[in-house]
Chain A
Amino acid sequence: DQQVKQNSPSLSVQEGRISILNCDYTNSMFDYFLWYKKYPAEGPTFLISISSIKDKNEDGRFTVFLNKSAKHLSLHIVPSQPGDSAVYFCAASAGDMRFGAGTRLTVKP
């Protein structure tokens, strides 16, 4: 039972454009959400997070949006850079943490 779903296994965007990665969840008890980025042969690294009391959190080129009524969050990367090419995991917490399956982002020069 996957409580956190990333339905797009891959995404390809042009350098300079916006990347939008999506994540859906089913458990309404989740109240903290995180995005991790993972490069090949490395462990995931924390990218950005949002509490359920907010609907938007911004950190430089990265913005996470949360729509609680739709149980949906998204990560926007603007502008996208080739170095952003990685696998992005969405995670949700209600005391313990659940991860999505990941979305592989490729940013083409």
Chain B
Amino acid sequence: EAQVTQNPRYLITVTGKKLTVTCSQNMNHEYMSWYRQDPGLGLRQIYYSMNVEVTDKGDVPEGYKVSRKEKRNFPLILESPSPNQTSLYFCASSSHASTYTDTQYFGPGTRLTVL
């Protein structure tokens, strides 16, 4: 089954404790992206990757890091989480290097709470 998986689905942590949210897709997609969803703001892009070893900042990259060492995986790293990073996070992938005209497949989401 074609899918995007994220782990963990739920996470409660404390300020400053490093964490990683994993994302994996089994569709051999080149493009992967991370979004956060906040009430009244919709989905905002954090980082994206057009291919292996290629990553770029999205709209709200501050406080986040990513890596793309393999095509299928795109982990999101919070080196020192803060309460304003409490949000619902989605990983997404699409088959081409650009999201232009290409629909994205989303993971189920990771709800993160930073105390």
Contacts and interface: CB of A to CB of B under 8 A. Distances in A.
Interface string B78-115: 00000000000010100000111101111111000000
Given A99-B42, A99-B44, A32 B107 contact: no
Q: Which of B90, B100, B107 is most buried by chain A, counting CB atoms within 10 A of its CB?
A: B100
Which size class do A's interface residues fall under?
20 to 34
23 contacts: A2-B41, A32-B100, A32-B101, A36-B106, A42-B108, A43-B105, A43-B108, A44-B43, A44-B90, A46-B103, A49-B101, A89-B43, A91-B43, A93-B100, A94-B100, A95-B99, A95-B100, A96-B99, A97-B45, A99-B43, A101-B40, A101-B41, A101-B42
Interface of B: 4, 35, 40-45, 48, 58, 90, 92, 98-101, 103-109
